[in-house]
Structure 1
Amino acid sequence: MEANRIILDMKYARIIEIIAQRLNIKTESAMDVFYTSPLFELIDKGVADMHCRSDQYLAEEIIAEKENNKDGY
């Protein structure tokens, strides 16, 4: 079970890096975006096999989520 957690943590690091690059923000800010995202909870709990989706897809969904929340939706 420990190996699965390590693999998931490595995935999180890749997603955070993509978010940082796309939003042109520091890694620490990207971590905040990622870990406060409602999508993070789904990924972490394995809901609907979200953890099986590509890093790029998940990062884009989190960014879209953030942008939608910024607009008040």
Structure 2
Amino acid sequence: MLSDLLMWNKIGRIITILSERLDIPSERAFDLFYSSKTNERLHDPKTMLYLFSDWYISDEVINEMRSE
């Protein structure tokens, strides 16, 4: 599992990617990410999602959002 500092950095990068790709404010991207199932999976060490790239994880959030 990543240390808290590394996880916060990763989440920050994911939120920045979401903000840019969806052309939304960072605050909205933050809310979108933190309310997603992808966020839950990222914090679950059994899924090992934290090993995937920031772009891949942002794709997961966008796909999840589109399927709702």
Q: Report SS of the residue matched to 1:46.
A: coil
Instruction: Report the equivalent of 1:7.
Output: 6
Larger radius of gyration: 1
Taking structure 1 as the reference length, the TM-score comes to: 0.87
Offset from partner CA, 1:46-67 (integer Å, 9 cap, x none): 2320010000000011011001
CA RMSD of aligned residues (A): 1.2
Q: Which runs of 5+ in 2 are unaligned?
A: none
The one-letter code sitting in structure 1 at the alignment partner of 2:18 is I
Identity of aligned residues (%): 31
Number of the residue aligned with 1:48 = 47
List aligned pairs for 1:7-46, cutoff 5 A.
7-46=6-45
Matched, 1:59 2:55: no
Q: Which runs of 4+ in 1 moved over 6 A?
A: none
Tell me by how many angstroms 1:7 deviates.
Answer: 0.3
Which structure has greater helix proportion? 1
CA–CA distance in 2 between the matches of 1:52 and 1:42? 12
Q: Deviations over 1:19-63 (max 9, x none)?
A: 000100000000011000011011012232001000000001101
